[in-house]
Amino acid sequence: MEMNDMVIISTDDHICEPPNMFDNQLSGDLLASAPKLKTDEDGNNYWYYQGHVRGLIGLNAVVGRPFEEYGMEPSSFSQLREGCYDVHARIDDMDVNGIAASMCFGNSIGFDGQTFHKAPDKKLALRHLQAWNDWHYDEWCMAYPGRFIPIMILPTWDMDATVAEINRCAKKGFRVLSMNENPTVQGLPSIHNDYWDPMFKAIAENDMTTALHIGSGNPAPHASMETPIEAWISTMPLSVAQGLSDWLQLEELHKYPDMRIAISEGSIGWVPYFMERADFSNWRHAAWTNSRFKDLKPSEMVKRHFLHCFLWDEYGLKNLAEIGEENVAYEVDYPHSDALWPDAPEHLYKQCHMLSDEQIDKITHRNAIKWFRHDALFENFKREEVTVGALRAKAAAKGVDTSPKSSGGSKPVADDRPITSGDIMNMMKSHAEKRAREIEAA
């Protein structure tokens, strides 16, 4: 297979939601009380909702910037590529990157809707969460049918409302939902508590896939505040192993054999060892742990229920047989700092040199279509219309500009020493405290 003949679906991208996202979904008091984009005295944008402040954290939206300007900028919409927040510009950026379809998690509201979970007025939060789901489907995904995989968020603080929202959104056309991998951090019961039974039942009845995004519940650990930040970034994908291990023990996996769970932004190279270790642990300890694994080994359950998403993992692809060629999908992570744009096909194609054409098709798009029930891509387009070559030809005809967007940038430290975890944490804390003072003064 030639690179230009690949069809690529990105199973993990993000939206920097536009300031007007609720304007067509709400009116009156509901619109007035919805999350609002504000600007501080230094010109930095941030979202405000029911006392909660969420800034435009730089590494979440640095696509298209010079590498030396990565860090805590950009901090305002004026510093972003339009594709971060404008759906039409996003399609252009997908075309120039050869991406046929994309699943986009939220940014301003959190990967799992955490902004609404933190809100004290849950009645309002529910209505605004529903409006976000409607905006995401109606105005983002349906602006270009087939090019996006709709993904909803849940009001899991209220189980009746959660089931109702799953049923409502399923009828609308959603087949994927995002939730916190460890809801105990939100003050909710663990996933092993009976509290979640109605939700899992609704997910199964509506044939929906659950996406667990890195960083939503189990934080990526870092050794100390003096540890260089590269150490933290290097180990971040491994932090999802905790969530996978926890969800692998879920009773519902035995009750619902067709349940599908996607591990987003966790990569794949570590998965074979994890499965081996899970089998070993079960072999050595099942006699006293009252283990649920009887007919199938843990590794077999991983292959039955979990999809693993990667963006750069040649080692994992070399061990594809161990992971399962039906259990791997590709992601770009646009517009985050790891995002390979506008040259994702080149990097992906190099990683696939040891794979057959059939295997390439599986990891680039067929597995994504199967796990996320995204038949809409080929219902709306012929294959030859959404290959890397075809999409890039469209972008070239439109003259899509991929030149770096620079604004000078600001550095977390003034000297040349390695930037540490503490430098980033202190900068984030300083920004949050400043905005809190401004809001209190206002």
Q: What are phi and psi of 270, to 5 degrees?
A: -85, -10
**Res 157: pLDDT:** 98
**Res 433: pLDDT:** 72
Kindly give the parts of the chain with pLDDT less than 50.
none
**Res 120: pLDDT:** 97
In CATH terms, the superfamily for domain 3-441 is: Metal-dependent hydrolases (3.20.20.140)
**Res 75: pLDDT:** 77
**Res 259: pLDDT:** 98
> Measured between alpha carbons, how far is residue 341 from residues 62, 112, 421 in Å?
11, 25, 26
**Res 412: pLDDT:** 67
Domain boundaries, the chain: 3-441
**Res 102: pLDDT:** 98
